Amino acid sequence: MISVVRAETEPVTETGVEMLEEMVSIPSVSTQERELGQWLVTRLRGMGFAARRDEVGNVIAFWGSGPREVLLLGHMDTVPGFIPVRREGRQLFGRGAVDAKGPLAAAITAVARQPAGAACRFTIIGAVEEEGSSRGARHLVSRKPPDQLVILEPSGWDAITLGYKGSLKVRYRLSKPMGHGAGPNESAADQAIAFIRKVQDHATAQGDGLGNFERLDARILRFHADHDGFKDTAAMTVGFRLPPNFDVPALQKQLETWAEIAELRFEYADAAVRAEKNTPVVRAFLKGIRDTGGTPRFKMKTGTSDMNILAPVWGCPTLAYGPGDSKLDHTPDEAMDLENFARGVDVLTSALSHLAR
């Protein structure tokens, strides 16, 4: 039995921290991951991995050669917003430190601790464009499914994420002849606001009495209204978070009715996903958290991840795990707690060792 309990006074895993700091120091806003990808391939090869970039820019690295495959999939891209990379106490600040370079660096460090002759092989993938179209994950759907799938997203070192809500993005555009500002007719902006009010009232009514994971959410992501003296226009992007088993076609039909003469463009819709608890990969991570001195917790996330795309297609046991506080995702204060990171590395090391056996 493996026991890797970390004492409070034990120093953090400096090798992994140094790698994370370098990764965070290389900007990689979604669609601009090339520099980080090239650096990461070189770094992985230097650590003993077989590594390459695929046709869309995903970094793919291999460790071991056993008959069973454990695939650990994270993403290299970040949302926009520069945060100066710095350490303050045990905090490492920088865009991507939590979402999701931290979980990816922790997994790389943990896999490199596994014996090369392990009974299973480990595949690490740093995907591109997870923060946008998930192009990297969509490119992988036709590959052979792994035996176990670990999505590298922040859950906290002592928690496992089993589910993510689905997502739908809708673009709204209304263009109409100009009217006088003091006239009786609604402006394009007025009509757009009336539309989103109907949408959000509908979502509130549907979710009455339900938990966060079970209800429909609608949020304006972008809004712009203007005129050129002849045409009055309003445009917005609305993002929906979808609960499990949600009827997307029915929602689309209702939105088209409320939009009236406005144009709607529906972008990709990814269904919610919920993993099973009683699987080999979940049991291994529960053991890994306990080995590291923690009491395991389960989480259901209201956001989305590449799990939404790959788990339903591959049908293999899956979960999401990674050090870091997901409340800091996309915020100006994004920072990785380095003690949290070190414990996450230990959990991953233990869990992967159990899976290899």
Q: Is 77 a catalytic residue?
A: yes
Nearest alpha carbon to residue 72 among 278, 270, 285? 285
CA distance 223 to 108: 40
CA distance 74 to 64: 19
Query: Could you check whether the bond before residue 61 is cis, i.e. omega within 30 degrees of 0?
Result: no
- Count of residues making up the chain: 357
Contacts within 8 Å (CB) and 24+ apart, 249-255:
251/168, 251/216, 254/202, 255/170, 255/199
Q: Is 130 a catalytic residue?
A: yes
The residues near 158 (Cβ < 8 Å, ≥ 6 apart) are 289, 292, 294, 295, 296, 297, 343, 347
Which is catalytic among the residues 21, 129, 130, 158?
130
The residues near 7 (Cβ < 8 Å, ≥ 6 apart) are none
Contact yes or no for 72/285 (Cβ under 8 A): no
Which is catalytic among the residues 77, 325, 334, 346?
77
The residues near 5 (Cβ < 8 Å, ≥ 6 apart) are 291, 292, 293
CA distance 102 to 85: 13
CA distance 90 to 98: 14
* Alpha helix ranges (H) inside 64-187: 101-112, 135-140
Positions annotated as catalytic residues are: 77, 130
